[in-house]
A and B are shown apart, each in its own frame.
Chain A
Amino acid sequence: GIQVEQSPPDLILQEGANSTLRCNFSDSVNNLQWFHQNPWGQLINLFYIPSGTKQNGRLSATTVATERYSLLYISSSQTTDSGVYFCAVGGSGNTGKLIFGQGTTLQVKP
């Protein structure tokens, strides 16, 4: 099956700093989503982005499907951005199955 690798595993930032999280995947995908799991355990969907670029406020994401990677950009980080960021992918032929990476744990210090 598809392998999903996220980097870095851990990241510590000062409030106001920018960061880039990366997701590599081993095969072509027709579905890629980014999630944020907050410190209370809630999983929030950030982006559906199997290709191209999207922006939502201070967050943006880019997926280069031909090179099998996706990037999540966080600008002007805030303490509320802390938590775990997951990339999840679904391969061609699978209409619903999303495989999650191991996540990047982000801590934003005030």
Chain B
Amino acid sequence: DAGVIQSPRHEVTEMGQEVTLRCKPISGHDYLFWYRQTMMRGLELLIYFNNNVPIDDSGMPEDRFSAKMPNASFSTLKIQPSEPRDSAVYFCASSPFQGAGEKLFFGSGTQLSVL
């Protein structure tokens, strides 16, 4: 399996622009997670899905952030409008079934820089 695939690997944009991050989870995994990593706050869970349904979005920082999972093989995280404080590495991760204690697998991340 190719693992969790994220795109783009790097994104540089200007404040106010819309940013869309993409993720393809491992085939057969029921859970998909979006995390953000910064030096100040470490790894934070933004939102997660179970069988394409958002379960917990309490970590989404504000209304500028939105996430969708239209099918089992694709998810997006959108920031509109972007701000410099959104600069971070955004990770997508998937897991086959958390309730059974399956491991969480991460993608390579998207390095976002908002100028």
Binding site for B on A (CB under 8 A): 30-31, 33, 35, 41-45, 48, 50, 86, 88, 90, 95-103
Interface size on B, residues (CB 8 A): 25
- Pair A96/B56 contact, Cβ less than 8 Å: yes
Q: How far is A62 from B105 in the complex, measured between Cα atoms in Å? A: 21
Binding site for A on B (CB under 8 A): 31, 33, 42-45, 48, 50, 55-56, 89, 91, 93, 95, 98-99, 101-106, 108-109, 111
Which among A50, A96, A102 is the interface contact of B95 at CB below 8 angstroms?
Answer: A96
- Cα–Cα, bound, A35→B95 (Å): 14
Given the complex of chains A and B, what is the CA–CA distance between A101 and B101 in angstroms? 19
Contacts of B33 in A (CB 8 A): 96, 98
Question: What does DSSP make chain B's interface, helix, strand, loop or mixed?
Answer: strand
How long is the Cα–Cα vector from A88 to B55 in the complex, in angstroms?
19
State whether A96 touches B103 (Cβ < 8 A): no
Distance A86 CA – B101 CA, assembled complex (angstroms): 17
Please list 30 pairs of residues, one from A and one from B, whose beta carbons are closer than 8 Å in the complex, sorted by A's number: A31-B101, A33-B103, A41-B108, A41-B109, A42-B106, A42-B108, A43-B91, A43-B93, A44-B106, A45-B105, A45-B106, A48-B102, A86-B43, A88-B43, A90-B98, A95-B50, A95-B98, A95-B99, A96-B33, A96-B48, A96-B98, A97-B56, A98-B33, A98-B45, A98-B104, A100-B42, A100-B43, A101-B42, A102-B42, A103-B42
Taking CB atoms, residues of chain B closer than 8 Å to A44 are 106
Which partner residue on chain B sits nearest A96 by CB separation?
Answer: B98
A95 to B53, CA, bound (A): 14
